[in-house]
Amino acid sequence: MKKRVVILGAGVTGLSAAYRLSQFPECEVHVLEKEMEVGGLCRSFTEGDFTLDLGPHKFYSNVPGVTEAMCEVMGDEFLLRDKTQKLYMSGRYFSFPLSLVEMITRFSPIKSMKILLSFGWQVIKTTVSSQPDQTYRDFVVNKFGKALYEQIFQPMARKMFGNPEKLDRRLAEVRISSPGLVAVLKQVLFSKKVDRTVSAPEFHYPKSGFGRIPAKLMEKAKANGANFHLGVKVTKIEQSQGKVSGVWVSSDSGKSEFISCDQLIYTIPMQAIAELMPELPAEVRQAARFVKFRHTVVYYFLLKAKSVLPAMWVFYPESKFRFGRLSEMTKFSPSVAPEGYTALMADFTCTGDDPEWSMNDEELGKHLLNQMKPLKLFSEDQIVKCFSKRFKNIYPVYEMGYEERVNKLRNLESSLENIYFVGRLGDFNYNNSDQCFDMGFSVANHIQEKGKVAEEWKNLRTERFEKYRIVD
């Protein structure tokens, strides 16, 4: 008999797992997705003659085997793009990651001296009395000094995740790929090579938008016999004799159906497990309540203009800008917009209590345009259309104490044996799309080889998943 594997969620983690499992004849694959489209935040959509992504996406990976696997999937649809990104601060554009030369030559002499003295003082303090990093702030200050932390990292962290003094050091460790000023200095003086663990000089991008990747994964998985159930909501996960026995789903018509399984791959938001399994112990359900994500907003300006940004995307750390980043779609692929037009995206995270989350599109557009005026990127008469896309619970927030709560949920993998938490949402793992692909491939391979959650799976998480780092 075939081994039935049910996958909750058709984001890129679920799709890569489905694709890999569909290559094994002994597996019967069922993917359950509440939306009518696959890809999650990695999908694309059309607006008139424009093809738009849900925020800027690139495909680049240092994870062994992932680039080769995705190039095989995408074939000649993959373009190889030279990456350009910048940082805007104090009315100037800087390279990003920030170079030591620019810090010395392009900041004011007073500011440059303050940054270097701050870093030197931090080196002395760390040498005399080294204390382990506890918070996001600790990690950054020890690597870069207090002055650079306050100039760039603190305001950016507040925009993305909240108060950096309440965030776990792990978030900075994962998110900030730069190895610190000492290593940067060594790189400048002794090496001419680009450190690909810090910055990707080029990346792959599909000619017709990033959404072609999830579309292609589904197409190939379907061709191999995988079953996709779109527009269905998972209402309950059933367990029996210490294992997950299946899931209940409902459709818009109100029809309810039970789908049994031998293995369950869980890629939807981790905290939802408390609602789907109400019989879980109180301490586990309580832990799920405090697993926090932030919402994300992408605001689009469709413009009659050839180009408006000096790079593919630009980071804006200063607090006077509500958005943390602007990006331009036509710089990823000229095929996504009509000739003579471009699309600018402003993206930022927020909570449900932030005023921007409650603004309608017209209010939010005016709010963002007022902040963009000093940048002089475009005039209002060049705007063809503007609107937003908003998504709940997208960015994991590593608050102090998060690991203990997340591990209480991950322990279900041991107690239930046949459930796997994977992906950015499902495993509460702040990662990039390439790492989500890797998690999907890895869980599929593990199910095929091992058949149940075992010690090898725990080792895989420790030795592989927990060593992921974001590469800018």
Fold designation for 3-41+63-76+207-291+399-467: FAD/NAD(P)-binding domain (3.50.50)
Least reliable range by pLDDT among 110-124, 147-161, 191-205, 444-458: 191-205
Higher pLDDT, 187 or 24: 24
pLDDT tens per residue, range 52-104:
999 999 999 989 999 999 999 999 999 999 999 999 998 999 888 777 677 66
Q: What is the mean pLDDT of residues 439-443?
A: 97
Q: Is pLDDT of 199 > 80?
A: no
In the chain, residues under CATH classification 3.50.50.60 are 3-41+63-76+207-291+399-467
**CA distance to 45, 309, 406, per residue, from 231 (Å):** 17, 38, 28
In terms of average pLDDT, the best of 10-14, 149-153, 174-178 is 10-14
Confidence category of residue 191, pLDDT binned at 50, 70, 90: very low
Least reliable range by pLDDT among 142-156, 180-194, 367-381: 180-194
Q: What is the pTM of this model?
A: 0.92
pLDDT tens per residue, range 387-436:
999 999 999 999 999 999 999 999 999 999 899 999 999 999 998 999 99
What tokens were used for 368? 């963002």
Q: What is the mean pLDDT of residues 279-295?
A: 93
Instruction: Give the pLDDT of residue 97.
Output: 75
Average pLDDT, the chain: 90
